[in-house]
Structure 1
Amino acid sequence: MKIAAYIEEAISVNPLLVIGSGSSCGAGLPGMHQLSKHLQENIVGHTGDDLAIWKEISRSLDKGLDLETALQSVSDISVSLTSSIVEQTWACIAKDEKRAMMKISMGEDICGFVKYFKKYLHTKNKVLNVVTTNYDQLVEFSASVAGLQYWDGFNTGSVAYPKQYNDFQARVKEIKNKRIDKICHVKVYKPHGSLSWFKTNHGQFVNLSNIGYSDLPLLRENNMNPAIVTPGIGKYLETHQQPYNNIMAEMTNSIQETKSVIFYGFGFNDIHIQGSFTSLLANTSTLKVILSKSLSESFLNLIEEGEIRNFVAIEEAKNGSRIVSDVVEENFFERNIWSFKELLNNAWGDY
């Protein structure tokens, strides 16, 4: 099979999109290296054991250890230190998110998501599924610009609270029964949380869409904590709570039902999330497209161990894209199709 035919088939059957940090870096948001530097510069004021533990983590980062491994290398991080890590992680990404939102709102489709969503707006597909481990809201911004509604586990509105999934399903069923063609939803599964999610000092989760980096002093004043799951050991503990476990359950359902999946900027380094894809990766009837500036060692190990079948993986190469696949004939393509935006431009035209 030719790669063009494989990609056309994969994107024509309403694929599940799995979006990792590589996509956000391409959009100008901080990556793990920048986040590590930000944390080292801004986590201050701790004393005693907290100070000693943070110095140990910081030394590991200076030696080149990645952030997640560095955080997991210490045995016990206190609630106070964890709160600082969460807050400064939120601050680092929130600082640049508004700039990306402005670009999208002014017509710059920085990731290709707007083009993708618009293509499906007038089809019979009432629901598009997106899984993202990113905290940013590039998917949500793009869906809104494209004219689609989205569900991320919360009600709609500037101040929103967790919404049960069966209520959302009832809404979609109502739309289908009325045969309204123009209403389409994006289900955005964010197992690590979102920049717009917060937890009050009473334990209530709330989605505040108009809160940004400049509001950090106000968040502190009102004891509002960002509800994001940091790259360290906390993710395995916090995601068993609401709203994360509901989101994970519905995400798993979407994974099981999909006919094709596109991974964009996903490094296959997150065991917590990747475990949800194990059966899908080995499923020979599910089409898989993997897009990355550079294919990770973890992904290449999956190939070597035979744990992924029926796939096309694309990475950057000189004057084009390198292709690794068990189903297509080519190993090089003359255009840059390793980014989602350029993949769509090649498949649908530069418009």
Structure 2
Amino acid sequence: MSDLNYKKQAQAYYGKAPLIILGSGASAAHGMSGMWALANHLVANTDISSLSDGEVEAWDRFCKILKDGVDLESALHEVAVTDELTSRIIKATWSLINAEDIQIFNKSLQNPRMFPLSRLLRHMFKSSLTKLNIVTTNYDRLAEYACDQEGLHHYTGFTHGFIRHSAAPNEINSARRVNIWKVHGSLDWFKSPHEDTVALSNIQGIPADYKPKIVTPGTQKYHATHLEPYRSIIHSADQAITAANSYLCIGYGFNDEHIQPKLMARCQRQNTPITIITYLLSGAARKLIFDDKVQNYLAIERGATDDQSIVYSSLSEAPLTIEKNIWSLEGYLSLIM
């Protein structure tokens, strides 16, 4: 495969106005903690005071499983935790991710070119498009900050303001808008004392009598995501995935059951083109493009160094090693702009 071919392929797929899928790798590029760092934080910082003996026993078993090298999601599937223990895990998760999120926001105020996603969205809106869709499993607000830096309106299922309430998409109108479908919740979503969900902008801590609305890995998330606001958000994400003519996956590991079914069906049965850029292709991503016979794909991962990329393409039987960074979003932009 020649240098020209993969560039043309990238541009052809991008020309179809891709739906953007952001995974944890997209946030890790800005210093956000991944699953391993989160697991260590939970072990050290989850409040287990006043729990029942059974809950403490479950927690000890969970910590041991983690220390044996099992990943966080698998550990949370192996151990049955009560609603109270789940609530404490959610609070500890929120405290870590929110602190990192606010730190990145503050840095972005000093660096107007901090987010490559800003430049991607700006470039996409140079066309006749009036709406773009982002689907993400991330709790953080980096996608929202990227929109703000570019002066773009964004919609996450809520009204505008400091205390935001649930709103249907047709209630929020603007000439151009980025829909950000956060299928596992967001740092600024809370269950209020009135039992509804509100979004509170960039607060430093969890308000009294409010509970974070983020879904942590484990068996509890299957129940939680059948409730609002997740149900409506996942439905909107499904609609966006079904309507898309192309996909651009950034740091996404292809391990989420809320995104996978529709995405895989479109790529396998309707040959919708997919571009994947990531630090390291996950096993699930490799299975999708190599074992599941996806017809139209371009996957790029980091090589031996940051300045080397490995390109896998449906146009070539063998991977191609490129001596430049095109695996990061910053590097990918050099292919399409």
Give the aligned length.
Answer: 329
**Displacement, 1:328?**
4.7
Change (3 A) 1:108 1:59: farther
Alignment counterpart, residue 209 of structure 1, candidates 201, 217, 239: 201
1:47-58 equivalences in 2 (<5 Å) = 47-58=52-63
* Structure 1: runs of 5+ lacking an equivalent: 173-182
Alpha-carbon distance in 2 for matches of 1:284, 1:276: 11
Secondary structure, counterpart of 1:272 in structure 2: coil
Secondary structure, counterpart of 2:178 in structure 1: strand
1:1-351 equivalences in 2 (<5 Å) = 2-44=5-47, 45=49, 46-74=51-79, 76-168=80-172, 171=173, 183-212=175-204, 215-216=205-206, 219=207, 222-283=208-269, 285-318=271-304, 319-328=307-316, 331-348=320-337
Tell me if the contact between 1:283 and 1:309 (Cα under 8 Å) persists in the aligned partners.
no
Alpha-carbon distance in 2 for matches of 1:286, 1:110: 31
**Displacement, 1:26?**
1.2
Root mean square deviation, CA, Å: 1.7
Alpha-carbon distance in 1 for matches of 2:40, 2:128: 46
**Displacement, 1:305?**
2.4
Tell me if the contact between 2:6 and 2:313 (Cα under 8 Å) persists in the aligned partners.
no
Alpha-carbon distance in 2 for matches of 1:33, 1:290: 23
Alpha-carbon distance in 1 for matches of 2:10, 2:289: 19
**Displacement, 1:9?**
1.7
Alpha-carbon distance in 2 for matches of 1:77, 1:302: 32
Secondary structure, counterpart of 1:309 in structure 2: coil
Tell me if the contact between 1:284 and 1:310 (Cα under 8 Å) persists in the aligned partners.
no
Tell me if the contact between 1:294 and 1:316 (Cα under 8 Å) persists in the aligned partners.
yes
**Displacement, 1:144?**
1.0
The one-character-per-residue Cα deviations of 1:235-290 (angstroms, maximum 9, x if unpaired) are 11111111111111111111111111011111112233312312122145422101
Q: What amino acid does structure 2 have at the position aligned with 1:203?
A: E
Alpha-carbon distance in 2 for matches of 1:66, 1:272: 20
Tell me if the contact between 1:281 and 1:307 (Cα under 8 Å) persists in the aligned partners.
no
Alpha-carbon distance in 2 for matches of 1:203, 1:266: 33
Alpha-carbon distance in 2 for matches of 1:123, 1:263: 21
Change (3 A) 1:109 1:72: farther
Structure 1 ranges of 4+ moved more than 4 A = none
Tell me if the contact between 1:312 and 1:323 (Cα under 8 Å) persists in the aligned partners.
yes
Tell me if the contact between 1:16 and 1:130 (Cα under 8 Å) persists in the aligned partners.
yes
As a proportion of its length, which structure holds more helix? 1
**Displacement, 1:188?**
0.2
Tell me if the contact between 1:193 and 1:228 (Cα under 8 Å) persists in the aligned partners.
yes
Q: What amino acid does structure 2 have at the position aligned with 1:202?
A: H
Query: TM-score, normalized by length of structure 1?
Result: 0.89
The one-character-per-residue Cα deviations of 1:132-158 (angstroms, maximum 9, x if unpaired) are 100000000110110110110000111
Secondary structure, counterpart of 2:259 in structure 1: helix
Alpha-carbon distance in 1 for matches of 2:234, 2:86: 23
**Displacement, 1:108?**
4.8
